[in-house]
Chain A
Amino acid sequence: MNLLGDLFTLFAKLSLLAVGGVNSTVPAIIRMVVDQRHWITTRQFSQLFAIAQAAPGPNMLIVALIGQHVAGVAGALAATVGTVLPSGILVLYVSNIWHRFQHARWRRILQAAIIPITGGLILSAAYVLVRAADTGWVLALVTVTSTLLCLTTRLHPLWLLAGGLLAGLIFT
């Protein structure tokens, strides 16, 4: 199959299911690009994910890095457009209905129903990423520290990533 077309449709499908943002599809992305297509390993995925976090802009750029890994700049663009376009068009169509039913009961119910699903999906994503990244106790300690600091302080994420980088450099 045409690689660029495959990248586009893969991420288009995933983005249409990405309730609560692209992060909630991390296990699904891993399933597709690691288990089924063997483009990268789980550990490579966790490293690309870290690079996407360290760059400015939306976290969805992980898809661009996967596309780049598979098919260079064209691959990055195919994956990015796939992630942006179908869900964007869907939002356009829904935006009018959404506004009209601002106070409707079903809208509140639907919103309330989505929240725990999103929470569960992102927890799963975290579990998968932690398992992939933590190959030793030092790295596990880095993860726990960064989780706690992120929860309890207002420290900028970049400092936590830099701290992890240093810890990896010195202790592993």
Chain B
Amino acid sequence: MTTDVTRKLDNRSLFIGFFQIGIVGFGGVLAVARRAVVEERKWLTATEFSELFSLCQFMPGANITNFAFAFGSRHGGLRGAAAAVSGLLAAPLVIVLIMGALFQQYATVPLVQHSVRGMAAAAAGLIAATAIKMALPSVKQLRSVLVLAAAVGLVVGFHLSLPVTMLALLPVSVALAWRP
């Protein structure tokens, strides 16, 4: 895919571009990244973006940092990847660490305890909603329901570790998906 790149971006523009994506992306960065990379900066066409992003979603790891890593390295090798990823994470990392430090400092104050407890309950609801959205497409086919239920059963019911769960499920899931 390296041949798709018509003009090489320098590390500075990579850092600045991804810095701006990181600072505005609340609760998921995909939409922001898409707008910045495709529409505003025209670094990739819509198709190129979907192609690269679908890979990053498919591959393990944090999708958006995978994306920054792959995109940056196309332009400037490992240094480009470092520029893009550190641009993406610099501001959010500083902010989240300040919040984390404040939380550690005041974790014993009842007022803080109660509000963070409420916030944790809401955050659990957010992830539950995400999980429902992501699980819904699988409910349409029996094979997917089986694999999905098996994953939940292995992780929650049997407390199997992630490697063992993957090792057990991936071959089964591939075999079930292997239909003409």
Contact = CB atoms under 8 A, between A and B. Distances in A.
A142 B125 contact: yes
Interface string A16-28: 1111111101111
B51 interface: yes
A132 interface: yes
B9 interface: no
A132 to B, nearest CB: 7
Q: Which of A49, A139, A144, A147 has the most CB of B within 10 A?
A: A147
Given A56-B24, A60-B65, A150 B56 contact: no
Contacts, number: 364
B5 interface: no
Nearest to B66: A91
A88 B27 contact: no
B61 A18 contact: yes
A133 B65 contact: no
Q: Which of B116, B127, B129, B169 has the most CB of A within 10 A?
A: B127
B46 interface: no
Interface in B58-105: 58-66, 69-70, 73, 81, 85, 88-89, 91-93, 95-97, 99-101, 103-104
Contact of B122 (A90, A127, A142): A142
Contact of B162 (A25, A48, A109, A151): A25
A165 B96 contact: no
B179 to A, nearest CB: 9
A115 interface: yes
A37 interface: no
Interface residues of B, number: 91
B173 A169 contact: no
Contact of A123 (B70, B95, B131, B170): B131
Contact of A133 (B61, B88, B100, B117): B117
Contacts of B123: 46, 49-50, 53-54, 129, 133, 146, 161, 164
Contact of B121 (A23, A127, A143, A148): A143
A88 B85 contact: yes
Contact of A83 (B62, B156, B166): B62
5 contacts: A19-B60, A90-B60, A145-B125, A158-B26, A164-B118
Give me the 5 closest cross-chain CB pairs, A-B, nearest first.
A168-B118, A57-B92, A120-B151, A164-B122, A87-B61
Interface of B: 1-2, 22-29, 51-52, 55-66, 69-70, 73, 81, 85, 88-89, 91-93, 95-97, 99-101, 103-104, 111, 114-135, 137-138, 143-145, 147-152, 155-156, 159, 161-163, 165-166, 169-170, 173-174, 176-178
Given A121-B162, A164-B121, 13 more contacts: A18-B61, A51-B119, A57-B29, A91-B55, A94-B55, A95-B52, A95-B55, A126-B128, A126-B131, A127-B152, A146-B122, A166-B118, A168-B118
